[in-house]
Amino acid sequence: MRYPLVLFFLTVLSLPAAAAEMKSEYTDIDFEKSCSSFSANQEGGDFANFVCPGWRGYPVVYYTGDLRESVFYGFPPAGGDTVWESFSAFNSTAPKIEWRIEVDGDRQVPIAAIHRWSVSSDPDDSEKKTEVLVVEKVGQIGVGEGCTVGLVVASGNPKANETARKIADEQVRDFACGADERVVVSGDVALPDFDRQEN
Q: What is the pLDDT of residues 116-146, one digit of tens each?
A: 999 999 888 878 999 999 999 999 999 999 9
3-state class (DSSP) for residue 169: helix
Contacts of 75 (CB under 8 A, 6+ apart): 58, 59, 139, 140, 141, 142, 143, 144
pTM of the complete model: 0.87
Q: How do the domains of the chain map onto residue ranges?
A: 21-197
DSSP line for 2-35: -HHHHHHHHHHHHSPPPPPEEEEEEEE--HHHH-
| Angstrom distance (rounded) from CA 137 to CA 139 | 7
Q: DSSP secondary-structure letter at 96? A: E
| 6 pLDDT more than 70 | no
Q: What is the pLDDT of residues 92-110, one digit of tens each?
A: 999 999 999 999 999 999 9
C-alpha closest to that of 133 among 167, 180, 110, 103? 167
Q: For residue 132, what pLDDT is reported?
A: 98
